[in-house]
Amino acid sequence: MTRDIVRIWTLIHKWASLICTAFLLMLCLTGLPLVFHDEIDRALNHAPNIVATPGQRLLNDDQVLDIALRARPGEVPLFMSFDVDRPVINVTTGPRADAPESLMHFAPIDQTSGRIVAATGAGGVMDVVLRIHKDMFLGLPGLLFLGVMGALFVAAIVSGLVIYTPFMRKIDFGTVRASRSTRLKWLDYHNLLGVVTAAWVTVVGLTGVINTLSEPILAVWRADQLAAMTAPYKDKPPPIRRSSIAAAIATAQAAAPGMRVQFVAFPGGAFSSKHHYAVFLQGATPATKRLPTPALVDAETGRLTAIRRMPWYAQGLLLSQPLHFGDYGGLPLKILWALLDIVTIIVTASGLYLWLSKKKAA
């Protein structure tokens, strides 16, 4: 590798790192508690422990939906989701079918009693941390901006590996020249920790970039696959009367044996059409749980009209989300993710220190 090429890669590493450093530190610091979001949710959650006794008759989906709508007069159903560890159905309503998230109301309903209970999410501080990490409260512009920062971070990783290669010829791998100056010692720590965690930070960086593209990716899915699945209903007026939501869910499950319902999108929303219940089904394995399959059921007749797996680009997004937070291997993997996150903070902070100390010396 010629000296000019090394100089170019050094400039890429320097400026890519400097531009994204502040945002990378923010993402690492907010990402650390988000790795343990399930555990924090359970610790901060004060919802009652609801258990159905053997043989107890539970309220069905239609009865739960009726309770939710009576509690919110004038609103329409938007989504229905199902707790895995307790007999609770969550109904999201809003003033209209295309209501923004800020106008939605979330109601967890106990199937054993029909009462509206507390949600299992922690809310409060964790919601704020998630929004900061996700888009800095800026919506789509914030998402895309953090995506650019993530791309610069990946560029900094690749360029750092390139310029570390000739450095390796001078000293043994893992050498830390602790007896020399403080700056030289931290340079060795920065290089060593950066190389050791390079594979992990590349995966987390790339999945983070993919996650920032969630809204454009879902928009493409709606314009492409969802539009094709609902094309025969394009010019039909919305149904005046809707069929049973419980029957629609049963119809969808019958078409995909062995799968369970993840959530239901009601007619008129972004995940369905004006004429369909969109029943999203998921598998039982760690991978298939992350890959919902939408089944469209005619909201007027209750007839299944289409069922199709999500396209590759949507599957890539759905698989990158749990991989980004280490959210698929239990607590041991989360602890490993947290330790690597802390190492990344050290690498980032040491890089900033090296640049500031060099600038001061100059």
| Number of domains into which the chain is organized | 3
- Helices 61-71 and 245-255 cross at an angle (nearest 10°) of 140
Distance CA 22, CA 28 (A): 10
**337 in a structural domain:** no
Residues 76 and 91 in one domain: yes
Which two structure tokens, joined as six digits, stand for 297?
A: 């059921």
Domain CATH for 304: 3.10.450
For 137, counting Cβ atoms within 10 Å of its Cβ (0-12 exposed, 13-18 middle, 19+ buried), the class is exposed
Distance CA 284, CA 217 (A): 25
For 88, counting Cβ atoms within 10 Å of its Cβ (0-12 exposed, 13-18 middle, 19+ buried), the class is buried
Q: pTM (2 decimals)? A: 0.84
- Helices 214-221 and 139-168 cross at an angle (nearest 10°) of 120
Q: Give the residue from 83, 102, 120 where a domain finishes.
A: 120
Whole-number Cα distances in Å, 218 to 213, 226, 316, 321 = 9, 10, 11, 14
Between CA 73 and CA 65, with CA 83 as vertex, the angle to 5 degrees is 25
Amino acid at residue number 144: L
The tens-digit pLDDT sequence of the chain (362 residues) is 677 788 899 899 999 999 999 999 999 999 999 999 878 877 776 666 666 666 678 999 999 999 999 999 999 999 999 988 888 999 999 999 999 988 999 999 999 989 988 766 545 688 889 899 999 999 899 999 999 999 999 999 999 888 887 766 676 666 677 667 888 888 888 888 888 899 999 999 999 999 999 999 999 999 999 999 999 998 888 888 999 999 999 999 999 998 999 999 999 998 999 999 999 999 887 777 888 999 999 999 999 999 999 999 999 999 898 888 887 778 888 999 999 999 999 999 999 988 888 766 65
**335 in a structural domain:** no
Residues 179 and 37 in one domain: yes
Residues 77 and 204 in one domain: no
Residues 227 and 316 in one domain: yes
**186 in a structural domain:** yes
Residues 243 and 314 in one domain: yes
Q: Give the residue from 62, 87, 120 where a domain finishes.
A: 120
Residues 205 and 317 in one domain: no
- Say if residues 133 and 30 touch (Cβ distance below 8 Å): yes
The β-bridge partners of 261 are 281
- Domain span at 15: 3-41+127-210+344-361
- Say if residues 114 and 108 touch (Cβ distance below 8 Å): no
Taking only the tens place, the pLDDT of each residue in 179-213 is 678 888 888 888 888 888 999 999 999 999 999 99
Residues 220 and 307 in one domain: yes
Residues 29 and 140 in one domain: yes
Distance CA 173, CA 185 (A): 14
**179 in a structural domain:** yes
**149 in a structural domain:** yes
Q: Give the residue from 69, 93, 120 where a domain finishes.
A: 120
Which two structure tokens, joined as six digits, stand for 179?
A: 């007896």
100: Cα within 13 Å, side-chain hemisphere: 2
**Ramachandran angles phi, psi of 306, nearest 5°:** -165, 145
Distance CA 190, CA 184 (A): 10
**339 in a structural domain:** no
Distance CA 357, CA 348 (A): 14
Residues 147 and 269 in one domain: no
SS (H, E, C) 119-172: CCCCCCHHHHHHHHHHHCCCHHHHHHHHHHHHHHHHHHHHHHHHHHHHHHCCCC
For position 184, what pLDDT does the model report?
A: 81
Which two structure tokens, joined as six digits, stand for 27?
A: 């993402």
How far is CA 199 from its chain centroid? 21
Whole-number Cα distances in Å, 324 to 157, 160, 201, 207, 285 = 17, 22, 10, 6, 19
Residues 69 and 36 in one domain: no
Contacts of 192-200 with CB under 8 Å at 24 or more apart are 193/343, 193/346, 193/347, 193/350, 194/157, 194/160, 194/164, 194/347, 195/160, 195/161, 195/164, 196/343, 197/340, 197/343, 197/344, 197/347, 198/157, 198/160, 198/161, 200/340
Taking only the tens place, the pLDDT of each residue in 278-323 is 999 998 877 778 889 999 999 999 999 999 999 999 999 998 988 8
Residues 6+ apart with CB under 8 A from 292: 262, 263, 280, 281, 282, 310, 318
The β-bridge partners of 92 are 79, 106
**338 in a structural domain:** no
**178 in a structural domain:** yes
Residues 178 and 66 in one domain: no
Residues 12 and 160 in one domain: yes
